Amino acid sequence: MVCNLVELEEFTTIPPCTPTQVDISIFTSLIDMIRQAPQDETPGKLEQRIKKAKIIPNYEKYNFRGQLMVLAELGIMPNPYVKPLYDGFTHFTDICNIKYPGSSRSDIILPLAGWRGANSIDETRLQALFGNIMQ
């Protein structure tokens, strides 16, 4: 518990990040690529498509996956299996018991694992959270 408190105290001292025009351009390109996803695209296929498009400088698979996971946790990349952390907490045990289609060999976890191209982007949530920078 003390370790978590120290981490939380440290986190609260980090100054807010102001995105540059380059950051905004990359983010906008990423969102557009997600919007263009084929109906049956999986998160893994999305990662491959974005890597191939070379829109993410210094692309590193697990760093990038973390960024997609944040979009899923915020509800910007929605899924029908577990609510985003942004909307409320779902216990890890409950998440582990959710049955959803996909490869059992995949290392992508919910909520990102439940996203498919048919889910696209929750435009209302995107606008609410990032509308101030995506004009």
Share of the chain above pLDDT 70, in %: 91
Q: Is residue 4 part of a domain?
A: no
pTM of the model: 0.84
Q: Is residue 49 part of a domain?
A: yes
Q: Is residue 9 part of a domain?
A: no
**Domain with 116 in it:** 20-130
Q: Is residue 13 part of a domain?
A: no
Contact 37, 120 (CB under 8 A): yes
* Total tally of structural domains belonging to the chain: 1
The band of 99, judged by pLDDT with boundaries at 50, 70 and 90, is confident
Taking CA atoms, 35 is separated from 41, 77, 116, 121, in Å, by 11, 10, 11, 6
Q: Is residue 11 part of a domain?
A: no
Q: Is residue 27 part of a domain?
A: yes
List pLDDT tens digits, range 30-81.
Answer: 999 999 999 999 999 999 999 999 999 999 999 999 999 999 999 999 999 9
Q: Is residue 123 part of a domain?
A: yes
